[in-house]
Chain A
Amino acid sequence: MSNTSEKIESKGVTNQGAKAQTSSLASVAARRPQEGKSEKMAGTGLEAKNVHAWFGSKHVLEDISMEFPRGTVTALIGPSGCGKSTFIRTLNRMHEFIPTAALAGEVLLDGKDVYQPGVDVTKIRLQVGMVFQKPNPFPSMTIKENVLSGLKLAQIKINNADELLESCLVRSGLWDEVKDRLNEYGGALSGGQQQRLCIARSLAVNPQVLLMDEPCSALDPGSTLRIEGTIAELSKSISIVIVTHNMQQAARVSDYTGFFLSDGGPGRLIEVGSTSDIFSNPKEKRTEDYVSGRFG
């Protein structure tokens, strides 16, 4: 496992009598093909170092350090309200839109801190994209315009717009369903389709990392599975960080998993590791309690 600098105390918790849920999750995680893509690429990509976050004087995230190596899928799990969404918003500098927000620590993209003064924040967001919980295509634009909207907003000119359009929609798994109606308005699609449209939209600006904040929680199971398939495909070329409440989903799609917990105070990263380890052989008792369903 790559040398993630997680802050854990190795107490050597023995795995006494793995609960049925834990073992089933573990087997799900084990079924994921490990294509050995991550190990060699650590060092480039996205990394969070000692990140703290506040809203006003309320400390909501404490000392989070994680790496998101290239080409991997990392799931962030944990109970509601422990700061997972806040954390990923520090990664693409959306956290600062809240007037009372404050921060400490560094977020490194390709080795450079994105919070350094003089950094063009819009460029950061082009490289670190985000898909939201509730699908939010632009209703005043057609499907085609939606996908290409990122380019229009950034005033990037390209020659092969139609090619890009098709490739993004193919990669997000929506092409077959909409290829004949690219000029219809974005609001006419179903929830799952809208979310895939949002994914395609994020892909069009060619990000290095895609952040997903509970992307399937507003969708039906069928759409959820489609999108998980999309995630698997996408992870071959970009890194994905996905926040999810659904542990089966985390087990299904991710290479690495980080477990967040807040005991009334700031959210902390309790444990992070490869998904199969987290689910079958967690080092922390709290992690084990969570993944075996004892709480949360």
Chain B
Amino acid sequence: MSALLEKPLPSKPWQPKPKNLIPEILGALFTALSTFLIVGFSPLKGTLGFTVVLIIMAVLTASVVSGLRRDRKAAWNSTTTVLVYVAAAFVVVPLISLLYEIIRKGVGGFSLGIFTKDMSLSASDSPLSEGGLLHAVVGTVYLVLLASLVSTPIGILAALYIVEVKGKFAGLVRFFVQAMSGIPSIVAGLFIYAIWMINLGNSYNAVAGAMALAILMIPTVARTSEEVLKLIPTDLREAGLALGATQWRTVAMIVIPAARSGLVTAIILGIARIAGETAPLLLTIGGADALNLNPFSGNNSALPYYVWKNYGLGNELSIQRAWLGVFVLMIVVFIFFSLARYFGATKDRKGK
């Protein structure tokens, strides 16, 4: 080895250093300036005008500069790079706006009191300190519980059938699960309405709503469970069978415990999906104002329904209530969502 007195330092010469970015910075400044000028002196105004001009100028500047410095293919590359960044911005902006507005408009009516009262004694246009959404929260809880009770066994059993049993109908079941996952929520509501109410002559109640939600929840649970079960290595199953266990015992005592956190994730994802569903509820649960602790009879309410109803009433205070409902609903969904991610991550850390 030649006698190098110091070891050379690793560097990344392909990453542009600040002084090499001067053309880019100048280009950005030019874009901003020209946008302001154009917007100022032409009829294009407002956020739309500004955005459109900005995008056009950015694309033009980037491609012309690249084209002059290098060649045509570099110009195209710069054009598409700018457009791709723009697309990403278009996605982020509405969501941030959404979250911001929900918090802004919902927080106003928020107080712990809303969780202890319902709307049976207050009119919708009474001030926000009267009445609450207890009935809606309880309704949502009922719906979620009942729907889960039905969906979890059916969904997981379907997944087990597809992955473990691999019977003759496995393809058919898979097909139905996929078909089910595309059902519009209102069709699910109509379906339950048709069967439950018309055929069986019941009136609005929470159970009906739960059935409709179950139709939507089953495919989510089934598909996620299927993915989870497929991830369990076959060695585990073979080990169980080699010990002399029957297939069902292997599944029950080895596979399911191994997949437990993933299955929990599947259930929670299903819940997150249906907690905010509105359309099927509009047809099945009747939208009460009073707290109804009986899920089997009588109108009941739920958070999405609460929002819907207040929105429909149209006066200023009820709109505020609607936003409040949205705010609470988002919190609920967010909690479930985080739970699902937490359990999903635990699974990754623990096992394969």
Contacts and interface: CB of A to CB of B under 8 A. Distances in A.
Whether A and B touch directly in their complex, counting CB atoms under 8 A apart, is answered as yes
B10 A102 contact: yes
A121 interface: yes
Interface string A88-109: 0000010010000111110000
A30 to B, nearest CB: 31
A17 interface: no
Q: Which of B4, B11, B70, B76 has the most CB of A within 10 A?
A: B11
A59 B8 CA distance: 11
Q: Which of B14, B71, B74 has the most CB of A within 10 A?
A: B14
Nearest to A121: B14
A175 interface: no
A52 B13 contact: no
A104 B4 contact: no
A104 B14 contact: no
A160 interface: no
A118 interface: yes
Contact of A104 (B1, B10, B71): B10
A120 interface: yes
B11 A102 contact: yes
Interface string B1-38: 11010001111111011001000000000000000000
A57 B10 CA distance: 8
Interface in A36-82: 50, 52, 54, 57, 59, 63
Interface residues of A, number: 25
Contacts of B17: 117
B166 interface: no
B71 A155 contact: yes
B63 to A, nearest CB: 13
A63 B2 CA distance: 9
Contacts of B1: 7, 63, 268
Interface residues of B, number: 19
A121 B74 CA distance: 11
A93 B14 contact: yes
A96 B4 contact: no
A161 interface: no
Contacts of A59: 10
B104 interface: no
B14 A115 contact: yes
A117 B11 CA distance: 13
A117 B74 CA distance: 16
B249 interface: no
B72 interface: yes
Q: Which of B8, B13, B73 has the most CB of A within 10 A?
A: B13
B136 to A, nearest CB: 48
A103 B10 contact: yes
A118 B16 CA distance: 9
A104 B74 contact: no
Interface string B54-85: 00000000000000001111101000000000
Given A154-B73, A155-B71, A118 B20 contact: yes
A122 B1 CA distance: 34
A104 B70 contact: no
B8 to A, nearest CB: 4
B16 A117 contact: yes
A42 B244 CA distance: 73
Nearest to B73: A155
Contacts of B9: 104
B12 A96 contact: yes
A185 B2 CA distance: 52
A133 B11 CA distance: 28
A93 B9 CA distance: 18
A155 B14 contact: no
Interface of A: 7, 50, 52, 54, 57, 59, 63, 93, 96, 101-105, 115-118, 120-122, 153-155, 268
30 contacts: A7-B1, A7-B2, A50-B8, A54-B10, A57-B10, A59-B10, A63-B1, A63-B2, A63-B4, A96-B14, A102-B10, A102-B11, A102-B12, A103-B10, A103-B11, A103-B13, A104-B9, A104-B10, A115-B13, A117-B17, A118-B20, A120-B74, A121-B14, A122-B73, A122-B74, A153-B73, A154-B73, A155-B72, A155-B73, A155-B76
